[in-house]
């Protein structure tokens, strides 16, 4: 093919490629550099704190996928008729945020412990037991679909089957994120309701938990996690819409939308958690599940006793208000 051998020829300006547009080297190079910096940041924080291993691994895997994906896009800038770069970016950039979502899911359990498990409708461990398997299912579907589509494209066959499996994985990720946000919002509203009713006694009164909750860094972390979740959710919705019309769909030919709804959303999700890293913002609560559980048992019992005493003076006790 002439354009494959002469990618910068003026005769190829209007020749269809895998993208349908001429990639911006500057934009993709900026994203590549930012993700490299974010990767370095997560590695440095873990090396310095030795806390939050699961969270760190999840984000490192996601960012590595982003780096490979944007490396593929830069390869495509050199030759947009070479399928290797295109397949690298469409597979890696599709699955990368699924790893990041897993890291966010891991944080909610620890946040529940910071306020007190009695403020949650479900046990803290259930957040990871529910959402992590869902994220794995989503990741497997996306990776399987991407692999099938890549093989089909390389062989000159239809990519529809693989594309549909990728869309199924992305759609399941959107659903999982939506349910997660509803659960997180419900927990937040329950915390506010119980605080108005019982004041500080509604929360874990251990010195560590109080110190964490009252710190500005922890409040910044809550805002960062909320923003990161919304960014990944919005990006996932966009990717479902983008891939729904196939690799030749109209949204696939819009780099401006890709930059705004894919690149910007994902890098913001990473950078805000570089700044408000869980291992820095509530370092004491990142020591491991066993240590947290052992510290919480005594404080949970004390909180329940106080709440029952308060309610005995005002109204009959309710199982929903004192459940651990």
209 located within any domain: yes
**262, part of any domain:** yes
* Structural domain for 262, as ranges: 24-281
Cβ atoms within 10 A of the Cβ of 214, count? 9
**pTM of the shown model:** 0.86
Instruction: Specify burial of residue 248 (Cβ count, 10 A radius: 0-12, 13-18, 19+).
Output: exposed
Is residue 183 included in any domain, yes or no? yes
Give me the sign of the Cα torsion angle 247, 253, 255, 258. negative
| Predicted local distance difference test score (pLDDT) of residue 288 | 55
Closest CA to 206 of 302, 123, 79: 302
| Residue 207 maps to a domain | yes
In order along its 324 residues, the chain shows pLDDT tens digits of 666 666 667 667 666 778 888 899 999 999 999 999 999 999 999 999 999 999 999 999 999 999 999 999 999 998 888 889 999 999 999 999 999 999 999 999 999 999 999 999 999 999 999 999 999 999 999 999 999 999 998 888 888 999 999 999 999 999 999 999 999 999 999 999 999 998 988 898 888 888 889 999 999 999 999 999 999 999 999 999 999 988 888 999 899 999 999 999 999 999 999 999 999 998 877 765 433 443 444 444 444 443 444 444 444 444 434 333
In a domain, 1, yes or no: no
Spatial CA neighbour of 117 closest among 130, 106, 129, 108? 108
Tokens 């499996």 correspond to what residue?
165
CATH number for position 90: 1.20.1070
Q: Is 27 helix (H, G, I), strand (E, B) or coil?
A: helix
**How many separate domains does the chain show?**
1
Task: Show the tokens assigned to 195.
Answer: 């605080």
């Amino acid at each position: 093919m002439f354009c494959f051998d002469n990618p910068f020829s003026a005769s190829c300006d209007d020749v269809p490629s895998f993208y349908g547009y001429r990639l911006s080297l500057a934009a993709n190079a900026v994203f590549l550099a930012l993700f490299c910096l974010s990767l370095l940041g997560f590695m440095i924080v873990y090396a310095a704190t030795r806390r939050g291993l699961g969270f760190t691994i999840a984000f490192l895997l996601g960012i590595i996928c982003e780096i490979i994906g944007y490396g593929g896009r830069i390869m495509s800038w050199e030759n947009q008729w070479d399928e290797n770069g295109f397949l690298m970016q469409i597979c890696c950039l599709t699955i990368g945020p699924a790893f990041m979502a897993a890291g966010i899911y891991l944080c909610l359990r620890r946040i529940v412990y910071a306020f007190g498990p009695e403020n949650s409708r479900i046990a803290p461990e259930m957040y990871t037991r529910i959402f992590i398997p869902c994220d794995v299912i989503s990741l497997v579907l996306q990776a399987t679909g991407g692999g099938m589509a890549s093989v089909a494209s390389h062989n000159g066959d239809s990519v529809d089957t693989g594309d549909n499996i990728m869309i199924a994985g992305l759609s399941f990720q959107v659903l999982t994120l939506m349910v997660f946000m509803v659960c997180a919002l419900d927990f937040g509203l329950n915390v506010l309701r119980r605080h108005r009713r019982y004041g500080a006694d509604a929360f874990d009164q251990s010195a560590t938990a109080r110190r964490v909750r009252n710190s500005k860094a922890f409040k910044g972390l809550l805002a960062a996690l909320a923003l990161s979740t919304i960014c990944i959710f919005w990006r996932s919705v966009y990717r479902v819409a983008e891939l729904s019309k196939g690799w030749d769909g109209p949204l696939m030919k819009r780099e401006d939308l890709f930059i705004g709804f894919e690149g910007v959303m994902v890098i913001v999700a990473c950078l805000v958690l570089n700044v408000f890293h869980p291992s820095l913002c509530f370092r004491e609560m990142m020591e491991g599940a066993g240590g947290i559980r052992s510290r919480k048992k005594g404080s949970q019992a004390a909180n329940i006793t106080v709440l029952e005493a308060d309610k005995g003076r005002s109204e009959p006790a309710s199982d929903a208000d004192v459940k651990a």
